[in-house]
Amino acid sequence: MRLGVRLLLSFVMVSIIPIAFLVIGGLKTIAQLNELLMRKTNEETQKLFHELVQQKAYEVATLLGSVLEGHPEIDSVEEYRANPEIRQVAIQRVGKIGYTALVAPNGDVILHPDPSVEGRNMLLNPPRELYPDFIALYKAALDSVAVSGYYTWPERDGTIKRKYLATYRTRNNMVVFATAYIDDMQKPLVNSYREVLQNQAEIIKSKMTLLGVLAVLIATITGTSIYASIVKPIRRIKLGIAAFSEGDYSYRIPISSSTDEINTVAALLNQFSEQLSITSRELKKETEKLADSEARYRAIVENMNQSLALVDSRGIITYVNPAFSRVLGYKPDDTIGQKFTEFVHKEDLALIRRHAGRAAMSGQKNFQMRLRAKHKLGYMVMFEINATLVYSRDGRLAYTVVLGQDITETHKLHRELETASLIMEQVGTGIALFTSEGKLAFSNRQWAMTHGYSDYHELRGQPLSAFFPPHALESAEHSFLAALNETPSINELTHIRRDGTEISALTTFHPFYDSSDRLIGVICSTCDITEYHKELQELQRKSDILEQRLIEIDKELETALLQLREAENMKTDFLGTISHELRTPLNAIEGLSKYLLESAHKVVIERHGEELKHIYQNSLYLHDLITSL
C-alpha cells in the first residue's frame, strides 16, 4: 500500500511538476511574445502613419504650388476660397478620418473642411480653449518649413482627443496642415487587444492555480488532456505570434471546437491579425498612392520649362532637371557634384553670397534675384531665380531649391522697352495700351497728367469708362472695337479727368500686335486741345466783335460817303458859281489889261506898263487857277 501510494505520489509529482513548469513557461512566453508584438506593432504603425501624414502635407503643398503657378492672377484669400480647383487640392482626406487645411502665414485659416473655421485665427480667436501643446505646434508651423508632432485637441462635445499634425510650407509661404486622430486609428485596437489578453492571462493564472490544487488528485487522469488542451494550443499561439512579428498577417492560429480561454486568446489573436492585415493593405494602398504622386511630381519637374537645381548646404549641386541642362548646354553628369557658384558669372558671386547670407541670418525661407550663368559654349545666360531654403527639424539648412527662368531675351527686350519708355515719357502726347477686354495695361506719364492723375501706376487695370464721360463713352467704345477689328481711327473726343472736369482731346485708336503679329490690344493716344478750343472760341468771339464793328464802320462809311457826295455836289455847285462869278470880271480885267498893253499910248506904257503887265499876268494866273478848280 505504501509502495502504491509512493508510486502514485511519484507519478503525480513527475506528471504535475513538468506540466506546471510547462504551463508557467508557456504563460511567460505568451506574455513576452505579446509584449514584443505590441511594441513592434506600435512602432511600425506609428512610423507608417507619421510618414503618411507628413507625405500628404508635402504632396498637397507641392501640388498647390504648381496649381498657383498656373493662376498668377489669384492673389487674395477670397479668390483662394472661390477657386474650386484650389479648394479641391488644399482640402483632402488623410486616411479615413484625417484631413488637410490651408493656413496663412499670420495664422488665419484660409481653407478648411469645416467652412465655419475659415477666416478664424486659431491663436487669436480659437473656437474654444486650446491646449499648450497645440499652440506651440501651431506657432512652430507658422515659423518653419515643416513641422510634425502630437497634440491634445478638445472636441465640441467636451471630449479630449489625441491628434497628429504634419505641416509643410508652400512656395508662396502658405502652410498646409495635415492632421489625423491617432487615438481613433491605432490606440483603441492595441488597448483592446492588451486588455483582453491581460484578462485572459489573469483567468489562465487563476485556473492554473486551481489546476495546481486539483492536479494532485487528477494528474493521472488529466495529464494527457492538459498537454493536448494547453501546451499544444500555446505552441500554436507561439507560432502564430512569430508569424505576425515577421509580417505574415495571413497566418491563422488553428482553433479547436472547445471554448476555453486559450482558444479565446487564439481567436482574439486571429482577429487582431485580420485587423492588422486590413491596416497593412490600406497602408500599402496609401504607399502606392504616394509612389504614384512622387512619379507624377517627378514627371512635372522633368517636363517643366523652368530650370530647377537642388543645392545642398555645402553649395554642391545634387540634382538638375532637363530644362537646366538644356538652357546651359551641360549634361546632368557635368553639373551634379559641382559647386553651384562655378556656373555663375564672377561679378555676380558677391551678389548671390549677399542674398544667401542675408536670408540665412534673417531666417528667410526664400529670396529672388537675377544673375548671369555660364553656358557651355562660353556666352552668358541671364537668369531670374527664386531660391527656397529648406531647413531640417533641428533648424539647420538642409538644401536649397533653385528655380530659374531664362530671361535673356526678356532682359534684352526689357532694356529696349526701357529705352522706348524713356522716349514715350519725353513726348507730349498721352499714350495708353488697353487689353482686348478694355482694361488699361500701360500708360505714360502724359496720359496720367492729362486725366488728372499724379501716379500713372495706379491707372493699371482701369476700364475704358474711367477716362470717358457717359455721353462720349459710346463713341470711344465704337472706335475701340473698330481698332480690335484692325481699323484705326482718329476723332475729337471728350475725356473726363479724375476731378470730374471734362477736356477735349484729339484721340486715336490703333490696333497693337505682339512680335508674332498677334493682336493683343489697342493703343490709344491723346492730344489735349482744350486750350486750343478756348483760344479758338476767343478768336471766334473777337472775330464776331470785329465783324460787328466792320458792319458798323461800313454803315458809318456809307453815311460818310453820302455826306461826301453831298459835299462834292455842293463843292461842284460852289466852284461852278465861283468860277462863273470870278471868270466874268477876270475876263474883263484880262482883256482890258491886254488891250492897254498892246494899244495904249507910249506915255501910259512908260508910266504904267509894269503895273499893267502885272495885272495881266495875275489875271492869267487867276484864270488858270479857276480853270483847275
pLDDT digits (tens, 9 = 90+) for 279-321: 777 877 888 887 787 778 778 878 888 888 999 988 899 998 9
Q: How far apart are CA 309 and CA 327, in angstroms?
A: 12
Of 262, 258, 205, 275, nearest in space to 235 by CA: 262
Q: Are both 182 and 195 inside the same structural domain?
A: no
Q: Are both 255 and 354 inside the same structural domain?
A: no
Domain boundary among 161, 186, 211: 186
Q: Are both 313 and 286 inside the same structural domain?
A: no
- 352 belongs to a structural domain: yes
Three cell numbers written together for 108:
488665419
Q: Are both 242 and 226 inside the same structural domain?
A: yes
Q: Are both 314 and 291 inside the same structural domain?
A: no
- Residue 546 predicted with pLDDT over 80: yes
Three cell numbers written together for 296:
507624377
Q: Are both 463 and 514 inside the same structural domain?
A: yes
Domain boundary among 262, 295, 328: 295
The CATH number of the domain holding residue 470 is 3.30.450.20
Of 211, 209, 199, 212, nearest in space to 265 by CA: 199
Q: How far apart are CA 64 and CA 67, in angstroms?
A: 5
The alpha helices in 186-259, defined as continuous H runs, are 187-226, 232-245
Q: Are both 84 and 8 inside the same structural domain?
A: no
Q: What is the pLDDT of residue 572?
A: 78
Q: Are both 182 and 193 inside the same structural domain?
A: no
Instruction: Give me the sign of the Cα torsion angle 392, 397, 399, 403.
Output: positive
Domain boundary among 186, 208, 238: 186
Q: Report helix, strand or coil for 353.
A: helix
Q: Please tell me the least confidently modeled range out of 41-45, 83-87, 486-490, 506-510.
A: 41-45
CA geometry: angle 154, 158, 163, nearest 5 deg? 30
Q: Are both 93 and 163 inside the same structural domain?
A: yes
- Residue 594 predicted with pLDDT over 90: no
- 194 belongs to a structural domain: yes
Q: Report helix, strand or coil for 535.
A: helix
- 173 belongs to a structural domain: yes
Q: Distance between alpha carbon 418 and the CA centroid of its chain, in Å?
A: 25
- Residue 478 predicted with pLDDT over 90: yes
Strand partners, 368: 386
Please report which helix (H) or strand (E) contains residue 51, including its range: helix 2-69
- 165 belongs to a structural domain: yes
User: Where does the pLDDT of residue 188 fall: very low under 50, low under 70, confident under 90, or very high at 90 and above?
Assistant: low
* Residue range 390-432, pLDDT digits in tens: 888 787 888 889 988 888 877 776 676 667 667 766 767 889 9
**Considering the chain, what is the average pLDDT of its residues?**
79
Q: What is the pLDDT of residue 172?
A: 80
User: Where does the pLDDT of residue 333 fall: very low under 50, low under 70, confident under 90, or very high at 90 and above?
Assistant: confident
Q: Are both 470 and 512 inside the same structural domain?
A: yes
Range of the domain at 553: 535-628
Please report which helix (H) or strand (E) contains residue 284, including its range: helix 261-303
- What percent of the chain has pLDDT above 70? 80
User: Where does the pLDDT of residue 468 fall: very low under 50, low under 70, confident under 90, or very high at 90 and above?
Assistant: very high
Amino acid at 215: A
Give the count of domains, the chain: 5
Instruction: Give me the sign of the Cα torsion angle 26, 31, 35, 38.
Output: positive
User: Where does the pLDDT of residue 219 fall: very low under 50, low under 70, confident under 90, or very high at 90 and above?
Assistant: low
In this prediction, residues 258-265 reach a mean pLDDT of 70
The residue assigned the cell 482890258 is 592
- 237 belongs to a structural domain: yes
- 345 belongs to a structural domain: yes
Three cell numbers written together for 312:
545642398
Q: Are both 288 and 308 inside the same structural domain?
A: no
Helix axis angle, 261-303 relative to 2-69, nearest 10°? 20
- 592 belongs to a structural domain: yes
Q: Distance between alpha carbon 522 and the CA centroid of its chain, in Å?
A: 26
| Greater pLDDT, 156 or 604 | 156
Q: What is the pLDDT of residue 7?
A: 39
- 174 belongs to a structural domain: yes
Q: Are both 311 and 396 inside the same structural domain?
A: yes
What predicted TM-score, i.e. pTM, was given to this entire model? 0.32
Three cell numbers written together for 516:
508674332
User: Where does the pLDDT of residue 11 fall: very low under 50, low under 70, confident under 90, or very high at 90 and above?
Assistant: very low
In this prediction, residues 265-276 reach a mean pLDDT of 76
